[in-house]
Amino acid sequence: MEGRRLTVRERTIVYYPAGVEIVELVPEIGNLRAGMQDLTIRHTRLRRIVVRFRPQIPMACFFLHWSDGRDLRDADDEIIATGSAGVITRDKAALAGEFMRTKCMSCKKSQYVIREMSPFPIFDDERERRAEHAYHKTCPNCGNFWDPLILEPLGPVED
């Protein structure tokens, strides 16, 4: 199975359900990092999307994050069956983020995280989405405040 092409606000995105590896577009994706898929491919609160914002720049991989506890397998099934992005756009639950490495200033430990990317051009209601979203504002290692825009910590960086 490959990703499912969807149209959201006149943009084409490629949505990857849980367990589906990004393979066919790898040469075109400018921000795909080693280990990124391993940490996210079966995640229960994340789904990967690939989008090109302008013709002259490479495609990029981003992440949709849901913090409301829903079973994303249902979203996967709906998207695959209908080819519609309705589950992404009809409610305010999903926010977009990007994969990055961050360091806690208190304990100095580095973590891989998904950090909110805003504004994200496929949503026109980000203010409402942000208001309803649960962020991970504290370091999973030491519990101190670290970054108010972390959607999901993915694990420690093994140096």
Average pLDDT over residues 120-136: 88
pLDDT at 152 over 80: yes
Q: Above pLDDT 90, what percent of the chain?
A: 70
Closest C-alpha among 151, 133, 140, 134 to residue 97: 151
Average pLDDT over residues 2-26: 92
Cα–Cα distance for residue pair 32/142, rounded to 1 Å: 29
pLDDT tens digits for range 45-86: 999 999 998 889 899 999 999 999 899 999 999 999 999 998
Q: Is the CB of residue 105 less than 8 Å from the CB of residue 145?
A: no
Q: Is the CB of residue 109 less than 8 Å from the CB of residue 102?
A: no
Give the model's pLDDT for residue 150: 97
- The kind and range of the H/E element at 71 are none
Cα–Cα distance for residue pair 61/48, rounded to 1 Å: 7
Domain residue ranges of the chain, discontinuous segments joined by + = 4-156
Measured between its terminal Cα atoms, the distance across the chain in Å is 34
* pTM of the full structure: 0.92
pLDDT at 159 over 70: no
pLDDT tens digits for range 89-105: 887 889 999 999 999 99
Q: Is the CB of residue 157 less than 8 Å from the CB of residue 111?
A: yes
Cα–Cα distance for residue pair 93/25, rounded to 1 Å: 27
Give SS3 for 139: coil
138 vs 24, which has greater pLDDT? 138
pLDDT at 1 over 80: no
> For the chain, what is the total number of helices (H) and then of strands (E)?
4, 7
pLDDT tens digits for range 103-121: 999 999 999 999 998 777 7
Between vectors from CA 145 to CA 142 and to CA 146, what angle results, nearest 5°? 90
